[in-house]
Amino acid sequence: MTFFLMLGILIKSLVIIVPVLIAVAFFTLLERKIMANIQRRRGPNVVGLFGVLQPFADGLKLLIKETIIPSKANKIIFLFAPILALFLSFLNYTVLPFSLFNVFADINLGVLYIFAISSLSVYAIIMSGWSSNSRYAFLGTLRSTAQMVSYEVSIGLIIINILIAANSLNLHNIVKAQTYIWYIIPLFPLFLLFYISALAETNRPPFDLPEAEAELVAGYFVEYSAMTFAQFFLGENINIIFMCSLMTIFFLGGWLPILNIYLFYLIPGVIWFILKVLIFLFTFVWVRVTFPRYRYDQLMRLGWKIFLPLSLAWIIFVSSILLSFNILV
């Protein structure tokens, strides 16, 4: 009985891990293609038809390369940090509902679980920068840690508004609460705050200060190569797709159709979910090629002096509205 239980868990895990890895591979291709078109140049077009096999060629190249460990690095922590980063990025998907029935673990405290896992991911970055014994890596670690902690605060306060409106910590219930109206319509300013905070949380341009090539070479993973670098790269892109999935659940009704029309319900919920996530992924790439990089003091000022007060004010405003109309239970 225990064997079949473990086998079932393994199969369910692979059903999540394999599609996520394939999604990351094609997201890197999509990003390079979109950037090439916006900048009027050719993207990957040699390996496979229209360059479709380019991500797999890049992965194979990183796999067969030699992993170089700096002589003064703490080897155990140095090698453990990218494994931890990749492992934690996968853990977030265990409570993510892709449709009404496609979820690994439907727990009532799903939002708290996501907060806990995302907070732990900071430790992987700290370990990588400290164990490298490099000034550039350590500076990148300090920047990235401060940035992630700063914007986790605003993200948490924004999500509190969603929890108050849905009256639940369960991601399924949050989606069901948007059956008649998506939260992006009444809470559009919060959506903008969440979107910008997601860019900063995932170290995406214009908030890629921890990886600023002109200042820090490559940030906290500057000393990493081959598969250790690939693990950080995968973890970062997995987190980007996860943040886009969270925005879909919190603001675009998850797997619910665009309009409450019977014919639209004939399309599987997973398809709607994927389409909405793709829209957010496109905008992430669009922002990357459009906006210049912020200075670090501007980034911190935006998080603590603008986003934090606005998020707190919106909690008071949303709570007052719901209490005034006897909606808040």
CA–CA gap between residue 316 and residue 326 (Å, rounded): 15
The number of angstroms, rounded, from the C-alpha of 66 to the middle of its chain's C-alpha atoms is 29
Does position 143 have pLDDT exceeding 90, yes or no?
no
**Per-residue confidence (pLDDT) for residue 211, from 0 to 100:** 67
Angle between helix axes 2-38 and 226-251 (nearest 10 degrees) is: 90
Q: Is there a single domain that holds both residue 152 and residue 44? A: no
Q: What is the pLDDT of residue 45?
A: 81
pLDDT higher than 80, residue 327: no
The pTM score is 0.90
DSSP one-letter string for 207-224: S-GGG-HHHHTTGGGTT-
Quick check: is 329 in a domain?
no
- In angstroms, what CA-CA distances link 83 with 79, 97, 211, 246, 253? 7, 25, 19, 23, 33
Phi-psi label, residue 55: left if phi above 0, alpha if psi -120 to 50, beta otherwise: alpha
Last residue of a domain, one of 12, 42, 64: 64
b/e for 300-315, b at 16 or more Cβ within 10 A? Answer: bebbeeebbebbeebe
1-54 pLDDT tens trace: 577 677 777 777 787 888 888 898 889 888 888 988 888 888 788 887 888 888
Q: Is the domain of 281 the same as that of 253?
A: yes
Does 88 map to a domain?
yes
* Domain contains 5: yes
Does residue 285 lie in a domain region? yes
What's the pLDDT tens digit per position in 99-110?
Answer: 777 777 778 888
Question: What are the C-alpha distances in Å from 73 to residues 83, 85, 135, 222, 247?
Answer: 16, 18, 12, 13, 38
Do residue 20 and residue 125 come from a single domain? no
- Is 309 inside any structural domain? yes
Same domain, 29 and 111: no
| Cβ-contact 310, 193 below 8 angstroms | yes
Q: Are residues 149 and 33 in the same domain?
A: no
Confidence (pLDDT) at 213? 60
Separation CA 252–CA 195 (nearest Å): 13
Q: What percent of the chain has pLDDT over 90?
A: 18
Domain boundary among 41, 64, 87: 64
Say whether pLDDT at 137 is over 70: yes
pLDDT at residue 149 greater than cutoff 90: no
Mean pLDDT of 49-61: 85
In the chain the beta strands, taken as DSSP E runs, fall at: none
The CA dihedral of 133, 119, 197, 25, to the nearest 10 degrees, is 70
87 and 16 belong to one structural domain = no
Say what the pLDDT of residue 159 is.
92
pLDDT for 7 equals: 76
- What's the pLDDT tens digit per position in 214-269? 565 667 778 888 888 888 888 889 999 999 999 999 999 888 887 666 666 677 87
Give just the sign of the alpha carbon dihedral 295, 244, 20, 287: negative
Pair (60, 101) in one structural domain: no
- Is residue 184 within 8 A of residue 254, CB to CB? The reply is no
Mean pLDDT of 300-318: 90
Q: In the numeric block, which tokens belong to residue 285?
A: 């790439």
Assign 185 to helix, strand or coil. Answer: coil
27 and 90 in a single domain? The answer is no
In a domain? residue 311: yes
Same domain, 33 and 111: no
- The pLDDT assigned to 2 comes to 75
| The pLDDT value given to residue 263 | 63
Neighbours of 269 (CB within 10 A): 19
Do 47 and 153 fall within a single domain? Answer: no
CB atoms within 10 A of CB 192: 13
Question: Which pair of tokens denotes residue 12?
Answer: 């369910």
Is residue 234 a part of any domain in this protein?
A: yes
What pLDDT sits at residue 215? Answer: 60
Q: How many domains does the chain have?
A: 2
- 264 and 141 co-located in one domain: yes
| Structure-token pair, residue 153 | 């605060």
- Structural domain of 10: 1-64
Q: Is the peptide bond before 206 cis (omega within 30 degrees of 0)?
A: yes
Looking at 19, 49, 64, the residue that finishes a domain is: 64
Is residue 98 domain-shared with residue 189, that is, in the same domain? yes
Question: Looking at the predicted structure, is the pLDDT value of residue 55 above 90?
Answer: no
**Could you tell me which residues come within 8 angstroms of residue 262 by beta carbon, excluding any fewer than 6 positions away?**
none
| Token pair listed for 103 | 């979820």
Mean pLDDT across the chain: 85
By the 10 Å C-beta count (0-12 exposed, 13-18 middle, 19+ buried), 282 is classed as: middle
pLDDT at 212 over 70: no
From residue 215, how far is each of 188, 212, 219, 222, 264 by CA, in Å? 35, 6, 9, 12, 50
